Structure formats: structure tokens, C-alpha cells
């Protein structure tokens, strides 16, 4: 599939032989920013939950589920609340964690590593979970960040429909901006349920992505960081 064909489809032309899987497989339009409409926040969270509940109820009805059953009756509302308030809450900038920096009074000038940050995200191609661990490292340029804030930044970007490559870079770029340094490293090791529960159904594979910035982009620092990450 050539670029011209994909651009024409993106602009509203339906072309013979084109399927949505072509974009999903090629990642042609995957960039640093999560794809969002300009009108993404026109509706309030409450209004979004009402709309999602109605739409999910229709999906369940189409699948033939009995929505009068006690177990299913409240499912559309539960799904809507889960989407907006929990697993996709990172789509809303107002939910971004507030970050405070502190002077590096201890004059600690070596790498600081926060490893094994457990996170849950969702594949944007099939809306099934991505479960993994993130390892984040930085070298202070004069300011330090509270350790729990590193976890919160990871979770914020994970709580949206994601591609692992984008998630890795979003975390790294935000930390570069917050800490005022290029000396950032992010490694993500994750299991994709779209691989293990459908399609190829490979339950043993995992995906690893990494970002090495500044001094971390050297053989010596990468080796040092990898040594810290060994259990």
C-alpha cells in the first residue's frame, strides 16, 4: 500500500482493496502525539459517559446479549465510567499529574533509576490490554523530581489507547521538558493481549522499546543502566 493511497483514504476517499488493517499494520500516521480530534473536549466527562453507555448498550444488543439480565443490566454504565474515569483518563490533559521539582541539594550527579513501574494500557488497534513494566532513569541538571511522580507520569501516558513506541517517547519527551535535561532513559517491557489472546495467540512473547537521550546514548551508560535493571 503506497503513501498516496493511504492519504487519499485519510482525506475521505474510499478506495478498492483498502482495509483498516493496512493503517494498523503499517503505523504510517503514528506520531508522538496521541491522535485527537480538535473537538475532543467539547463534551463534558458526564456527557461522554452518557453517550458511551448508550453506544455500548447498542453493541451488546447487536451481539445478542440480554440486557434485562441482572448481571448485564448495569454493564454499559460501568464500561462508560471505566473508559472516562479510569483506563482512558490520560486522554484528558486536566488529569496530568502536578509536578514539583526540588533543588539537587545532595549534589547527586549520577543516574537515578526508578525500575519496575507496573502499568496497564490498551492497544489502540484492538482496545485490549497492554500490561508491562517501565524503567525510567535520569541524571539531574540541578533539579530532582519526587520518585512517585515518575510513576504517575508513566501511568498518565499509559491511560489512553496506545502504541508502545509512542508511549515510550511520550514519557521520555515529557521528562526531558520537566527536568530540563536530555539525560533521560526509558525502557518498556510489555505484553500485548492483542498478540496473546487473538491473532497469532502467542502467550510467551513480549515487546521491549527504549529511549536513550543525552549521555545515556553511549555504550558505557547503556551498559551501566542495564546492569541496574538486572534482577
Please identify every residue annotated as catalytic.
123-126, 164, 192, 194
Strands 161-162 and 112-123, bridge-based pairing:
parallel
Q: Contacts by 190-193 with C-beta closer than 8 Å and gap 24+?
A: 190/121, 190/130, 190/131, 190/132, 190/133, 190/164, 191/130, 191/131, 191/132, 192/123, 192/128, 192/130, 192/164, 193/123, 193/128, 193/129, 193/130, 193/131
Q: 184: which 3 cell numbers? A: 533521560
Please, which residues bridge with residue 102 across strands? Answer: 144
Q: What is d(CA 21, CA 65) in angstroms, rounded to the nearest whole number?
A: 27
> What does DSSP assign to residue 211?
E
**Cα radius of gyration rounded to whole Å, the chain:** 21
Task: Give the relative orientation of helices 147-158 and 164-179 as an angle to the nearest 10 degrees.
Answer: 140
Q: What one-character-per-residue DSSP string does 56-106 give?
A: HHHHHHHTT--TTSTTTTTHHHHHHHIIIIIITGGGSGGGSPP--EEE-TT
Amino acid at each position: 500500500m503506497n503513501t498516496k493511497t493511504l492519504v487519499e483514504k485519510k482525506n475521505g476517499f474510499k478506495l478498492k482493496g483498502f482495509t483498516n488493517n493496512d493503517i494498523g499494520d503499517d503505523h504510517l500516521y503514528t506520531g508522538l502525539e496521541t491522535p485527537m480530534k480538535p473537538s475532543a473536549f467539547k463534551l463534558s466527562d458526564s456527557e461522554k459517559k452518557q453517550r458511551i453507555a448508550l453506544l455500548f448498550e447498542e453493541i451488546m444488543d447487536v451481539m445478542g446479549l440480554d440486557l434485562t439480565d441482572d448481571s448485564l443490566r448495569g454493564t454499559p454504565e460501568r464500561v462508560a465510567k471505566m473508559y472516562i474515569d479510569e483506563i482512558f483518563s490520560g486522554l484528558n490533559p486536566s488529569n496530568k499529574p502536578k509536578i514539583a521539582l526540588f533543588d539537587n541539594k545532595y549534589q547527586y550527579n549520577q543516574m537515578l533509576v526508578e525500575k519496575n513501574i507496573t502499568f496497564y494500557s490498551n492497544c489502540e488497534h484492538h482496545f485490549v490490554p497492554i500490561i508491562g513494566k517501565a524503567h525510567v532513569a535520569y541524571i539531574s541538571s540541578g533539579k530532582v523530581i519526587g520518585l512517585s511522580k515518575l510513576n504517575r507520569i508513566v501511568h498518565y501516558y499509559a491511560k489512553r489507547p496506545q502504541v508502545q513506541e509512542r508511549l515510550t517517547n511520550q514519557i521520555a519527551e515529557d521528562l526531558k521538558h520537566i527536568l530540563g535535561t536530555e539525560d533521560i532513559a526509558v525502557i518498556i517491557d510489555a505484553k500485548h493481549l492483542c498478540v496473546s489472546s487473538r491473532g497469532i495467540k502467542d502467550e510467551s512473547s513480549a515487546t521491549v522499546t527504549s529511549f536513550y537521550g543525552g549521555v545515556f546514548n553511549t555504550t558505557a551508560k547503556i551498559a551501566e543502566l542495564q546492569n541496574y535493571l538486572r534482577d
